[in-house]
Structure 1
Amino acid sequence: MNDQPGTAQVSTVVQDMASVDAAIESRFSCRAFLPTPVARDTIADILRVASRAPSGTNCQPWKVYVLQGASRDALVGKVCAAHDAIYADPSLAASYKEEYDYYPEKWVSPYIDRRRENGWGLYGLLGIAKGEKDKMHAQHHRNFRFFDAPVGLMFTLDRVMGRGSLVDYGMFMENIMVAARARGLHTCPQAAWNGFGRIILPHIGAGEDEMLVCGMALGHADESHKVNAFHTPRVPVEAFTHWLD
């Protein structure tokens, strides 16, 4: 481990480009994990590497809560119960609001098209047809079990921080996911938890000045589960890039 990263960052040569690319390109939202434990030292090392993410004026706004064992299981029980209660009585949803808009209020093309492709591609693979609400609820419910991953991460941000800190957070979380791949692990970033902050924040011991950014599942992928055969497409570079000469 380099204790003085500033002395080597400029001169470091990345010898194995293929491995760096493979860590990025093999990252996907894993939706089925094995119960195999992940060592605390491994998690800490992933977070150490991820903390090299850039942030505005180096404010490093991230706060991470790692849930394993009994703390993880207790949170799963609480949020699963709330999720089931909302399904039984949709009026309860008004009591569970996320603190920032992750998705737009109004969907427009091409984003709504990609969202639908993603949703129906996943449900189609799992044999869930349009209108099968019970099956959809059951699949969505798996979010709140961290897809059986033994490690759950909750990310919070001090409410005093600006919207730019969410940009910083995205880079930090991407580093976590790539560093996890380098160690043979997989992840699933999860905005599904965001509406349950009123349950999650007290459970993890977050301060009153913190808001929930999102959660993440971390562990060993269940390679035999068909859901992990689902990989989302990406539009070509030409579709989102404007070259200005």
Structure 2
Amino acid sequence: MLIKTLLKTRRSTRAFLDKPVEETTIRDILEIAKWAPSGGNLQPWKVLVVSGEAKKNVINLAIETLSKNPKGEDDEFPIYPNKVSEPYRTRRFTVGAQLYELMGIERGDKMGRMKFFHDNLRFFGAPAGLFFVIDRSMGNGQWAHMGMFMQSIALAAEEMGLSTCMQESWALVRKTLHAHFQLPENELLYCGMALGWRDKKAKVNELMPERADLDEFVTFI
């Protein structure tokens, strides 16, 4: 599949089929993605892959943790800035409204929104979850390289007929996961990713957010 097609068809998948992904397939995806750009060839990424019972344990732990502390337990690396300015605020609000409309969740439906959030913590039913870990000593450049690595995983998965969803929501239980995975103090668990087979019949997977016109973010000098 052409890269331009992969980039335009990839989307955040929020409903997966109950169908396993073989470890060999995940290894193949990571073998491809490891060739993502990396300044100085630092390759600052580490990946934890969970499935089966390991995934269930993580899901139960996350839901239990947030039931006790719904606001989350960590602000070391917030998911969004405290004050999101324009045009970013409108973009975020719009895609959120579109998502809930597709799912039939009203603005005041707290139970519906909570269920959807728990679906997030269940990797939206995906058979595999990936967690991304980076050394705390790394700088802004290495964080950018991590993002390139993650997108490379998403595109490689897409080419193989699989789908993904980037999940920064796991930051809300970062401390708990850090202890659960027994990570050393110098490492930070950044975020997660759901990996599996897209449920093409699920309404929520019809969401394809618009992108800004080039003139809004490109200047030719």
Under a length normalisation based on structure 1, what TM-score does the superposition of the two structures give? 0.87
Match of 2:64 in 1: 81
1:138 to 107, 115, 130: 115
Identity, in percent, stands at: 39
Quick one: which of 164, 182, 190 aligns to 1:187?
Answer: 164
SS at match of 1:121: helix
2:216 is aligned with 1:234 = no
User: TM-score scaled to structure 2, two decimals?
Assistant: 0.96
Query: 2-side partners of 1:183 and 1:55: how far apart?
Result: 24
**What SS is found at the alignment partner of 1:29?**
coil
Alpha-carbon shift at residue 81 of structure 1 (Å): 1.5
Q: Which has the larger radius of gyration?
A: 1
Deviation at 1:101, TM superposition (A): 3.0
2:70 paired with 1:97:
no
1:115 paired with 2:98, answer no
Select which of 43, 49, 68 maps to 1:66. Answer: 49
Q: Provide the C-alpha distance between the structure 2 equivalents of 1:77 and 1:103, rounded to a whole number of angstroms.
A: 25
Query: Does 2:23 correspond to 1:40?
Result: yes
**4+ residue segments displaced more than 6 Å:** none
Alignment of structure 1 residues 182-221 onto 2, 5 Å: 182-221=159-198
Residue type matched to 1:78 in 2?
L
User: Does the aligned pair in 1 maintain the 2:78–2:171 contact within 8 Å?
Assistant: no
Q: AA paired with 1:108?
A: S
Over the residues paired in the alignment, what is the CA RMSD in angstroms? 1.3
Note the residue ranges of structure 2 that are not aligned, 5 or more in a row: none
CA contact (8 A) 2:49 2:128 kept: yes
Contact 1:98 1:196 in 2 (8 A): no
Q: Shift of residue 102 of structure 1?
A: 3.2
Please give the per-residue CA displacement for 1:72-116, whole angstroms capped at 9, x wherever unaligned.
0100011011223334xxxxx36x014213311211111000011
User: Could you tell me how far apart the structure 2 residues matched to 1:47 and 1:68 are?
Assistant: 16
Alpha-carbon deviation of 1:192? Answer: 0.3
Is residue 131 of structure 2 the alignment partner of residue 148 of structure 1? no
Q: Which runs of 5+ in 1 are unaligned?
A: 1-17, 88-92
Structure 1 counterpart of 2:37:
54
Alpha-carbon deviation of 1:226? 0.7
Residue-by-residue CA offset, 1:19-73 (whole Å, 9 max, x unaligned): 2211121110000001211111110111111111111211000000000111001
